[in-house]
Structure 1
Amino acid sequence: MDIKQARYNMVEQQIRPWDVLNQDVLDLLFEVRREDFVPEAHQALAFVDMEIPLGHGQSMWTPRLEARALQELAIRPGDRVLEVGTGSGYLTALLAAQADAVVSVDIVPEFTASAMQKLRAHGFDNVMLHTGDAARDWPDTSGFDVIVLTGSTPLLSDAFLQRLHVGGRMFAIVGEAPVMQARLITCTAPGAARGVTLFETCVAPLVNAPQPAAFVF
């Protein structure tokens, strides 16, 4: 496979047509080698418009979803980021390339260990990885400028809003299959936020994501 051409095709045929036009984001997709974060068994699929299985019921996002989320979050050099769901570590790397620091949490120890190895190999020393359950909250007294949930959630926990600094942005996919909405929530004041729906999509849920209360007759 011609890696250089495959990467170019991914950007020009998948990502740019999906309204990802921010040049900094597009340049980053050429700089951070996606193929290095794809499981070895699926290397040939590194640039294909599909979710790549990671095991444990989880998958990598499609390239266009990764790029679109990055563009919508508009990460600044001084930002501190929380990523819930490390997965392969590729999105973690993209976030770390733009932010000051990234805290990434995954409930699967194998994901944490593998991502740590790959991120260190690529020279990312501004990432702190944790193995834990952060689907409903991740206590951190320092707070965050950006929060990304890489798995879907039927309900969005209010606790995440409390972790956002004023002006902070959160990207979350909310709902249940087959209809989910990608949403961007911006903290406008302490405890207050405005949200916009960006597009419809469908991704695997976060383990232990909050569920709607069951109706009892």
Structure 2
Amino acid sequence: MSKTLLTVTIVLFIGCGTLVGQTDFATQKEQMVRIQLQGRDITDIETLSALLNVRRHEFVPENLKNLAYTDGPLPIGNGQTISQPYIVAFMTQALRLKSNHRVLEIGTGSGYQAAVLAKIVDSVYTIEIVKDLATTAEKRLKRLGYDNVNVKWGDGYHGWPSKAPFDAVMVTAGADSIPQPLIDQLKVGGRMIIPVGPHHGVRQLVLITKKKNEVRTKSLMAVRFVPFTRKDSIDPDR
């Protein structure tokens, strides 16, 4: 083998080794959308597009990035999790969001669900009761360019009165009952989705539709979520 050919062979080998060592997040994300979402019952184009365009691996701990697009939840610290991609898509689709909507999210976590919502709607207001998570999520979302997401540390039970009313409300923690302040802050015609029921591991994912003279509820599926935690000392408008 000539010296020139040997050099080229070594360069190609090193290059291939680098490519093999890298995680192809783009391909994993496309497969997640095609298999986990479209392969089930997620048909809303805006929801599919949002999950295709949000880099989920940016919202999980460094040591779990290789699992970012797998079909399940992942721990993000402080006893909290980032929800399974399918559940994120299912809850998003159920709200029937429009581009001019203002959405309230309870349970920011790592910020992934807020980022998905932000790809669809005009503005997202998200509340996280764990201060470390709220601070980290706010910095992450700003770094990634999600300028239409507003993060607050606080007790999500009280909602965000100064920013109400909202076209939609999403709660990403399991509650024993539906918080009345969140219903009050929902526009007439608005929709809310929340896991509800006694904390025995499994709750019902409930869709609430607010009409002029009534509030309608519909159970959608059994789900598992971390508990909805409270801290009454936090000012809801902080």
**Residue pair 1:177, 1:202 contacting (<8 A) in 2 also:** no
* Match of residue 35 from structure 2: 13
Q: Which amino acid aligns with 1:18?
A: R
CA drift at 1:169: 0.7
Higher alpha-carbon Rg: 2
Which structure 2 residues correspond to residues 64-213 of structure 1 after superposition, within 5 A?
A: 64-140=86-162, 142-175=164-197, 176-189=199-212, 192-208=214-230
Give the SS at the match of 1:18.
Answer: coil
- 1:29 maps to 2:77: no
Kindly report the root-mean-square deviation, in angstroms, between the aligned alpha carbons of the 2 structures: 1.8
CA drift at 1:105: 0.7
Q: Distance in 1 between matches of 2:163 and 2:151?
A: 17
Structure 2 unpaired stretches of 5+ = 1-22, 232-238
Runs (4+) of structure 1 exceeding 6 A deviation are none
**Residue pair 2:171, 2:195 contacting (<8 A) in 1 also:** yes
Q: Deviations over 1:58-92 (max 9, x none)?
A: 10100000011111111111111111111010100
Q: Which amino acid aligns with 2:98?
A: R
CA drift at 1:166: 0.6
Q: Which amino acid aligns with 1:70?
A: T
Structure 1 unpaired stretches of 5+ = 210-217
Q: Deviations over 1:6-64 (max 9, x none)?
A: 11221122122331011221122111111111121211110011211011211010000
Q: Deviations over 1:100-150 (max 9, x none)?
A: 111111111111121112211222111211111113544336311111111
Q: Which amino acid aligns with 1:124?
A: Y
* Match of residue 234 from structure 2: none
Identity of aligned residues (%): 34
Q: Distance in 2 between matches of 1:159 and 1:2?
A: 43
Q: Which amino acid aligns with 2:164?
A: S
More displaced stretch, 127-136 vs 56-65: 127-136
Q: Which amino acid aligns with 1:181?
A: Q
- 1:55 maps to 2:77: yes
* Match of residue 41 from structure 1: 63
Q: Which amino acid aligns with 2:110?
A: S
* Match of residue 212 from structure 1: none
Q: Distance in 1 between matches of 2:27 and 2:148?
A: 30
Q: How many residues align?
A: 209
Q: TM-score, normalised by structure 2?
A: 0.82
Q: Distance in 1 between matches of 2:163 and 2:60?
A: 33
The structure with the greater share of residues assigned to strand is 1
The structure with the greater share of residues assigned to helix is 2
More displaced stretch, 45-54 vs 140-149: 140-149
**Residue pair 1:148, 1:170 contacting (<8 A) in 2 also:** yes
